[in-house]
């Protein structure tokens, strides 16, 4: 047993990494809110701000907004009209919570995060684009962490929802009407197209791309740089990317990739696309 490896004082834990995280947090706790509104902040008279909350210089709290107990609204942050920020939530400097959006309790939003920007909804019309008003909200549950410069768009009609305990890394894009299940973690530079539903307890690697209008079940792991182009209905680990190779090798392989269908047909004794009479399963 590892406990017998040394005679000095030691801690034995089933999950050393999580135990280490808790120990470090004990020695480096987040600072408490310094109650009050800085003279350089702007708070609308109709807003409700808890007496124990901290509103830093340059922050703006809009009409009918609500800021909970012990919340910290960092310098230059914006809480829009009728938006809500829960108890013990911290907005680092330059965070934007757009009108009517909701952030739960004990959340952490890092600099540059934007919650509730318009979803990308455009209707083609006679060679131009007509903007579709985005009238839903973005709603974050309790204990959510949002990385720097991550964006979560408001819904087009219903809400975009990030459930409790979700952790998003820097520069993640969550498009309109998405839903991310509780305790899912998503690494940086991932892009999630509109109306995608990701289940609970999923782990999404960096720079993963999700095509819109698909569903990912609970307990899925997607490795970095994977393109998810269809729904995932069974838990497990999914990958879809090519490893790095010398550029000359890539050029040769890419030339063959373009001919894969032709090569497959030849291997099956078919010489032209019409030869399969609609029975090709490729």
- Between CA 106 and CA 209 the distance in angstroms is 29
Give me the pLDDT at residue 200, please.
Answer: 98
Give me the pLDDT at residue 1, please.
Answer: 57
- Between CA 265 and CA 259 the distance in angstroms is 10
**β-pair type (220-222, 203-204):** parallel
Burial 218-235 (b: 16+ CB within 10 A, else e): eebbbeebbebeeebeee
Give me the pLDDT at residue 36, please.
Answer: 98
Give me the pLDDT at residue 8, please.
Answer: 85
The answer to whether residue 201 is catalytic is no
Residue pointed to by tokens 């090798």: 249
* Closest residue by Cα to residue 118 from 103, 148, 138: 138
Structure tokens belonging to residue 259: 């001919």
Of 28, 176, 213, 277, the active-site residue reads 176
**pLDDT tens for each residue of the chain, 282 residues long:** 567 777 888 888 899 999 999 999 999 999 999 999 999 999 999 999 999 999 999 999 999 999 999 999 999 999 999 999 999 999 999 999 999 999 999 999 999 999 999 999 999 999 999 999 999 999 999 999 999 999 999 999 999 999 999 999 999 999 999 999 999 999 999 999 999 999 999 999 999 999 999 999 999 999 999 999 999 999 999 999 888 899 999 999 988 888 999 888 998 886 555 555 444 432
- Between CA 57 and CA 230 the distance in angstroms is 46
Domain residue ranges in the chain: 36-177, 247-276
- Distance in angstroms between the alpha carbons of the first and the last residue of the chain: 53
Which CATH number is 36-177 given?
A: 2.160.10.10
């Amino acid at each position: 047993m590892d406990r017998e490896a040394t005679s000095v004082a030691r801690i034995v834990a089933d999950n050393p990494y999580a135990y280490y995280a808790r120990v470090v947090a004990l020695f480096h706790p987040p600072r408490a809110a310094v109650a009050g509104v800085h003279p350089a902040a702007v708070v609308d008279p109709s807003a409700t701000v808890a007496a124990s909350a901290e509103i830093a210089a340059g922050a703006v709290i809009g009409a009918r907004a609500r800021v909970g107990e012990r919340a910290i609204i960092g310098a230059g942050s914006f809480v829009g009209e009728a938006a809500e920020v829960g108890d013990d939530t911290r907005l680092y400097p330059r965070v934007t919570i757009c009108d009517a959006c909701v952030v739960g309790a004990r959340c952490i939003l890092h600099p540059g995060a934007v919650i509730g920007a318009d979803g990308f909804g455009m209707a083609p019309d006679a060679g131009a684009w007509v903007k579709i008003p985005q009238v839903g909200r973005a709603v974050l549950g309790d204990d959510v962490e949002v990385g720097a410069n991550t964006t979560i768009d408001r819904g087009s009609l219903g809400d975009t929802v990030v459930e409790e305990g979700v952790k998003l890394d820097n520069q993640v894009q969550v498009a309109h009407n998405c839903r991310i299940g509780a305790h899912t973690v998503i690494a940086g530079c991932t892009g999630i197209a509109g109306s995608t539903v990701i289940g609970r307890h999923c782990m999404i690697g960096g720079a993963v791309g999700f095509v819109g209008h698909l569903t990912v079940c609970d307990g899925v792991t997607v490795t970095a740089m994977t393109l998810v182009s269809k729904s995932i209905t069974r838990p497990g680990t999914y990958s879809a990317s090519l490893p790095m190779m010398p550029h000359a090798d890539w050029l040769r392989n890419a030339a063959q990739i373009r001919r894969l269908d032709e090569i497959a047909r030849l291997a099956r004794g078919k010489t032209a696309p019409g030869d399969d009479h609609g029975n090709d399963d490729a």
